[in-house]
């Protein structure tokens, strides 16, 4: 019997194989000869298109001892491929583990997920109970329910209860988090509630543990996975509920390789599986807010924080009145307020969303500034490592440089980074313990010990990037100083205002969680305070309502579909020529508007020049269908690569 087999490769169609004496059905994992080697494939739902050329049809080698992939998951992967303009083989690659399906493992391998711990009793408030009842209604079919709650209001415990309900019925649950590498606190809370360990899935998990989890999910031995974006593609045997925590977070967007938005794809997977999905947030994304308004999504709200702790107050520090000292970034007014907090044994966070010491380095003799040789961006000086670093390609350089006249360069470090702020604070508060909280310092080996010290109030001053806003619970943090509100509010990002609203709401939610009075201080030169008032407003719906009207008036997402096309090449002239030809070609094939080509704001990354096109059109799959056909029929010159981003979030 002839069967279609999809392989995890760049092909957008299955290949035809002969099953021989092996009995196979839809979704079975098989081992097949492929080219000069062997490959794992899956019996797919449709044959490849007929080819005029005649090929020798090879036989399946063996059927793997793995439960079949269910039809709903196959339907989801087919749709995922079509929506994101990704080959079906690449969609399958996301599901397999290093192109393999993991066959049965010994039962001992799963014992760590069966260990019993002492469960802690949690009591729900009336608001939480009401939200839980709403989430548990219509739990036997597809629906999207948004749980919106003030930071620190106990949303996690509410959705833990919904997962417990699903597990008690014999189903599996998936909890997706935007940043899972540092969420030891989340895992501990899970163990306190459920009394056993969850399976954790992200890029830092060892291959051995990934094999155990992959097999445990496909056989139903593992009931709950807490995972990053990639966990969405695990081969669940009996998935019953998906939770997307911090649904608004930009980290759900995969922007390299197979480009997709994991939140949106989670909603689609729930639809194809006909199961419920809960989106958890303190400030909904603009797309989610529009779906709530149009009644596509249901919503429950929790207004009160745990133990009725109040939200932080905010105060604007006018830098036009409270002047900064030369080469200093913290005003005297802020210093005085911080001293008062430290006397009360409050923890203090200085927030600046810039890694390193200084974002710009140049010589005051020859006026050369230091740009990455591979990318068209400035190198950032990291004093801790004594090097210049590119935050895009990872290039490292040093400061041993000479001017044009062979003299030694005399460097000026322009602008602040977290290292520079930390250095300044050590001079101002020499007797306090400090820590920098960024992706450079919070590596996986040290992070749990640092978090423990912060929770125990052994560190009084934190200097952090946006990483610190991602769901951490610091009981003694009652003062936040936003150093760079002017810097973060500039730029031409379509989603800039929305991102700032979500970032600063999340950030302020780290403070005052145990009931003590807390304050967020915004340093600014901007005399127009409306932007700060908007993002600090305790009701974010006011801002979202205004933003939605602006988007609708200008036919912007979520009212129109954007598809970003990025052409890359190491040959600049060839790229410019091909991008113009490609634009003219697809414009003749699409009914949608095609803008560009223009040089990308970051024109070169990893030695590749980048040109952008933007397609604007109606929100349906017709754009993808037409574009897919056009791309297949257009012949790029050698050395030109095309990257497609449906529903882009970043426009760099």
Label each residue of 162-176 as H, E or C: HHHHHHHCCCEEEEE
Under 8 Å CB-to-CB from 81, ≥6 apart: which residues? 12, 87, 88, 90, 91
pLDDT of residue 580: 96
Give mean pLDDT, residues 512-540: 77
CATH class of this structure's domain 561-646: alpha beta
pLDDT in tens, 389-414: 999 999 998 887 777 767 777 778 88
Which residues pair with residue 66 across a beta bridge?
none
Q: Which CATH number fits domain 107-306: 3.65.10.10, 3.40.50.300, 3.90.180.10, 3.40.50.10310?
A: 3.40.50.300
Q: How much of the chain, in percent, has pLDDT values that exceed 70?
A: 95
pLDDT at 285 over 90: yes
Average pLDDT over residues 230-255: 95
pLDDT in tens, 569-590: 999 999 999 999 999 999 999 9
Q: Distance (Å, rounded) from C-alpha 276 to C-alpha 143? A: 5
Query: What residues contact residue 386 under an 8 Å CB cut-off, 6+ apart?
Result: 398, 399
Q: pLDDT-derived band of residue 444, with 50, 70 and 90 as boundaries?
A: low
pLDDT digits 0-9 by tens, 426-438 = 999 999 999 998 8
SS3 of residue 37 by DSSP: strand
Residue 182 pLDDT > 70: no
pLDDT in the model for residue 24: 95
The better pLDDT of the pair 150, 245 is held by: 245
For β-strands 380-382 and 387-389, DSSP reports them as: antiparallel
DSSP string, 374-437: SSSSBPEEETTTTEEE-TTT--EE-S--B-TTSPBP-EEEES--HHHHHHHHHHHSTTS-EEEE
Would you say residue 490 has pLDDT above 60? no
Q: Where are the beta strands (DSSP E) in 525-589?
A: 561-569
Q: How many helices (H) and strands (E) does the chain have?
A: 17, 29
pLDDT at 165 exceeding the cut of 80: yes
Digit-coded pLDDT (tens) for 19-69 = 989 999 999 999 999 989 999 999 999 887 766 667 789 999 999 999 999
pLDDT-derived band at 368, boundaries 50, 70, 90: confident
* Percent of the chain surpassing pLDDT 90: 62
DSSP string, 323-376: PPPTT--S-HHHHHHHHHHHHTT-EEEEE----SSBSEEEETTT--B-B-SSSS
Tell me the three state secondary structure of residue 211. Answer: helix
pLDDT tens-digit readout, 246-284? 999 989 999 888 999 999 999 999 999 999 999 999 999
Fold matches, 107-306 and 310-354+416-548: yes
Q: Decide if 329 contacts 482 (C-beta within 8 A).
A: no
Burial profile 523-561: b = 16 or more Cβ within 10 angstroms, e = fewer: bbebeeeebbebbbeeebbebbeebbeebeeeebbbebb
Nearest to 318 by CA among 302, 297, 332: 332
Select the CATH number that applies to the domain covering 310-354+416-548 from these four: 3.30.160.160, 3.40.50.300, 1.25.40.10, 3.40.50.2300. Answer: 3.40.50.300
State how far the alpha carbon of 148 is from the alpha carbons of 34, 159, 293, 647, in Å: 49, 11, 14, 23
pLDDT (tens digit per residue) in 65-99: 999 999 999 999 999 999 999 999 999 999 999 99
Asked if pLDDT for residue 491 goes beyond 60, the answer is no
The pLDDT value given to residue 222: 94
**pLDDT confidence band for 517 (50 / 70 / 90):** confident
Query: What is the structure's pLDDT at 445?
Result: 63
Among 411-415, 423-427, 615-619, the range scoring the smallest mean pLDDT is 411-415
The yes-or-no verdict on residue 492 having pLDDT over 60 is: no
Q: 219: how many CB neighbours lie within 10 A of its CB? A: 17
**Exposure of 419 by Cβ count < 10 A (0-12 exposed, 13-18 middle, 19+ buried)?**
buried
CA-closest candidate to residue 561, choices 494, 618, 622: 618
How far does Cα 389 stand from its chain's mean position? Answer: 23
Which of the residue ranges 33-42, 242-251, 472-481, 548-557 would you say has the lowest mean pLDDT?
472-481
Instruction: Give residue 631's pLDDT.
Output: 94
The mean predicted confidence, pLDDT, of the chain is: 89
Highest-pLDDT range among 131-140, 263-272, 305-314? 263-272
Q: Is the pLDDT of residue 111 over 90?
A: no
Stretch 461-468: mean pLDDT, rounded? 89
**pLDDT higher than 90, residue 148:** yes
* Residues 630, 594: Cα–Cα separation, whole Å: 13
Domain ranges across the chain: 2-69, 107-306, 310-354+416-548, 561-646
């Amino acid at each position: 019997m002839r069967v279609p087999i999809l392989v995890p490769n760049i092909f957008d169609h299955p290949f035809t194989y002969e099953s021989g004496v092996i009995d196979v059905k839809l979704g079975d994992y098989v081992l097949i000869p492929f080219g000069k080697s062997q490959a794992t494939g899956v019996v797919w739902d449709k044959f490849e298109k007929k080819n005029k050329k005649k090929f020798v049809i090879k036989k399946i080698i063996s059927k793997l001892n793995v439960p079949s992939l269910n039809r709903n998951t196959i339907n989801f992967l087919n749709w995922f491929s079509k929506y994101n303009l990704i080959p079906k083989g690449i969609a399958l690659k996301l599901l397999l583990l290093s192109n393999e399906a993991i066959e049965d493992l010994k039962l001992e391998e799963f014992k760590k997920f069966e260990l019993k711990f002492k469960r802690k009793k949690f009591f729900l408030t009336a608001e939480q109970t009401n939200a839980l009842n709403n989430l548990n209604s219509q739990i036997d079919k597809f629906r999207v329910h948004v749980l919106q709650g003030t930071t620190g209001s106990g949303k996690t415990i509410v959705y833990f209860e919904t997962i417990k309900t699903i597990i008690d019925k014999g189903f599996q649950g998936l909890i997706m988090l935007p940043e899972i590498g540092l969420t030891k606190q989340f895992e501990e809370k899970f163990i306190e509630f459920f009394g056993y360990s969850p399976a954790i899935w992200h890029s830092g998990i060892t291959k051995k543990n990934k094999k155990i989890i992959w097999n445990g999910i496909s056989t139903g031995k593992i009931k709950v996975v807490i995972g990053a974006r990639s966990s969405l593609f695990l081969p669940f045997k009996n998935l019953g509920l998906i939770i997307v925590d911090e649904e608004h977070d930009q980290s759900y967007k995969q922007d390299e390789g197979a480009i997709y938005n994991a939140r949106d794809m989670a909603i689609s997977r729930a639809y194809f599986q006909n199961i419920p999905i809960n989106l958890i947030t303190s400030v909904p994304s603009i797309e989610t807010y529009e779906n709530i308004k149009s009644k596509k999504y249901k919503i429950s709200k929790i207004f009160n924080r745990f133990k009725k702790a109040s939200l932080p107050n905010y105060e604007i520090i006018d830098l036009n009145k409270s002047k900064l000292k030369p080469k200093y970034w913290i005003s005297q007014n802020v210093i005085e307020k911080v001293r008062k907090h430290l006397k009360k044994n409050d923890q203090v966070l200085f927030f600046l969303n810039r890694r390193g010491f200084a974002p710009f380095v140049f010589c005051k003799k020859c006026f050369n500034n230091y740009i990455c040789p591979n990318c068209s961006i400035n190198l950032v000086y990291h004093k801790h490592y004594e090097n210049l670093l590119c935050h895009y390609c990872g290039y490292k350089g040093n400061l041993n440089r000479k001017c044009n006249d062979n003299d030694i360069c005399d460097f000026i470090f322009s602008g602040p980074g977290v290292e520079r702020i930390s250095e300044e604070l050590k001079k101002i508060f020499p007797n306090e313990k400090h820590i920098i909280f960024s992706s450079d310092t919070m590596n996986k080996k040290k992070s749990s010990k640092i978090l423990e010290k912060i929770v125990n109030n052994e560190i009084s001053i934190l200097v952090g990037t946006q990483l610190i806003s991602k769901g951490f619970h610091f009981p003694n943090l009652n003062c936040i100083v936003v150093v760079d509100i002017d810097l973060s509010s500039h730029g031409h990002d379509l989603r800039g205002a929305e991102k700032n609203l979500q970032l600063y709401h999340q950030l302020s939610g780290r403070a005052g969680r145990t009931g003590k009075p807390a304050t967020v201080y915004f340093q600014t030169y901007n005399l127009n305070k409306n932007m700060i008032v908007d993002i600090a407003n305790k009701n974010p719906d006011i801002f979202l309502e205004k933003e939605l009207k602006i988007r609708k008036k200008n036919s912007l997402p979520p009212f129109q579909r954007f598809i970003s096309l990025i052409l890359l090449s190491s040959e600049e002239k060839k790229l410019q020529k091909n991008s113009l030809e490609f634009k003219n070609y697809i414009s003749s094939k699409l009914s949608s508007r095609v803008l560009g080509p223009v040089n990308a704001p970051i024109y070169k990354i990893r030695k590749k020049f980048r040109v952008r096109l933007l397609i604007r059109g109606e929100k349906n799959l017709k754009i993808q269908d037409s574009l897919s056909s056009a791309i297949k029929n257009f012949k790029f010159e050698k050395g030109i690569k095309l990257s497609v981003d449906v529903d882009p979030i970043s426009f760099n």
